[in-house]
Amino acid sequence: MSLPPHGATTLRPLLVDAARHGDLLAEARSLRPILISSASAANAVMLAAGYFTPLTGYMSRADALRVAREMRTEGDVFWPVPVLNLLPAADGIAPGERIALTDPNLPGEPILAVQTVERVEVLTDEDLRLIMERVFRTTDLDHPGVATLLAQGRTLISGPIEVLNFSYFESEFPDTFRTAMQLREAIAERGWRRTVAFQTRNPMHRAHEELCKMALERLDADGLLIHMLLGRLKPGDVPAPVRDAAIRRMVELYFPPDRVVVSGYGFDMLYAGPREAVLHAIFRQNAGCTHFIVGRDHAGVGSYYGPFDAQTIFDEEVPPHALAIEIFRADHTAWSKRLGRVVMMRDAPDHSNEDFVLLSGTKVREMLARGEPLPIEFARPEVAEILMRHYQAAG
């Protein structure tokens, strides 16, 4: 049983069909080209792929500020983060104009989409502060999401878009990138009625693997979607191709056949913690999943968010019935030396930290770079081998 898409009865992907593609591309070549940011390009890809259903394009200033304050658009659509096309300057762009949005992530900056401009507005210092404080819960310039927001400029170009392609995601990740429509089809083909989704921007170690298995069992789910972010990350994060290879190897060896779909989506990480967790839930509802795992420090970075803020937001700020998908709340998982298996830490109240195999991300990277094997209680050896090759090659 697939859930209905968020805010709509059917998905609303903004990728034009084959019949429209040629005419739109010809028109786009006659329009003023506007080079957009990677963040705006990622928004276009998500709109194209149906993940941003029911949105029709980039938000206005009024939409962005209401979303920041209340998680509602001016049209009363529940939405947790502004979806923006920000530029350094308007360069004469006027309402009513159609512009060709060009892709910053591909050689030659090809046309990605055509936008009908409804408004050209400038965000004030107060506007940007509101967005930072509500969406990222910080104005710290060291926060990667804040830094990305401020680097784009403050001229806001809003209006609907028609998208021509999926940027680099289809060509670089042909076996992994899938649209919300394709995932709904995959779930339907398998006859899954209860599907739980797991979000990741990292490789999956034993704790992640067991968390997914726990969710499958406790929810009596038919299948699992391991859904990885394929877009831009902060420096130091594991590149998507390496992560993809490691996850696929783990699934091949350690999950039951035909219970898992490994896939990815074309979006740049926001590191927005609780607000991004809500956005992640919308993605998975649009992809047809019935449940979504939200773990400790979900979509977080540094110490900007409390360890369970991304769970409590669903209780404290998401209105009842705003989402149809259900949240599976997970604690930190780790190998228990006393029990000889991976457990959720909350399920072992008699344990201390010394009773678990716990490694920091920094420690893991240092060990892999030196060619040292990770503890088998922490990482599957086949996964660690793939990661070790990456870190040693990176030098």
Q: How far is CA 317 from the centre of its chain?
A: 20
Token pair for 378 = 């922490």
Buried b (16+ CB within 10 A) or exposed e, 326-336: bbbbbbbbbbb
Q: Answer left, alpha or beta for residue 37, where phi above 0 means left and psi between -120 and 50 means alpha.
A: beta
Per-residue pLDDT tens over the stretch 258-293: 999 999 999 999 999 999 999 999 999 999 999 999
Is residue 169 within 8 A of residue 46, CB to CB? The reply is no
CA distance 116 to 32: 12
Catalytic residue among 12, 72, 194, 202: 202
Asked if 201 is an active-site residue, the reply is yes
Enumerate domains of the chain plus CATH numbers. 18-167 (3.10.400.10), 175-265+273-394 (3.40.50.620)
CA distance 70 to 272: 16
Give helix 240-254 / helix 381-394 axis angle, nearest 10°. Answer: 160
In the predicted structure, residue 111 carries a pLDDT above the cut 90? yes
Per-residue pLDDT tens over the stretch 199-252: 999 899 999 999 999 999 999 999 999 999 999 988 878 899 999 999 999 999
Per-residue pLDDT tens over the stretch 292-304: 999 999 999 999 9
Asked if 105 is an active-site residue, the reply is no
Is residue 166 within 8 A of residue 172, CB to CB? The reply is no
Catalytic residue among 137, 178, 201, 275: 201
End-to-end C-alpha distance for the chain, whole angstroms:
47
Residue 348, classified by CB atoms within 10 Å of its CB into exposed (0-12), middle (13-18) or buried (19+), is middle
CA distance 42 to 58: 12
Give helix 381-394 / helix 361-369 axis angle, nearest 10°. Answer: 70
pLDDT band of 1, cuts 50, 70, 90? low
Token pair for 392 = 């040693």
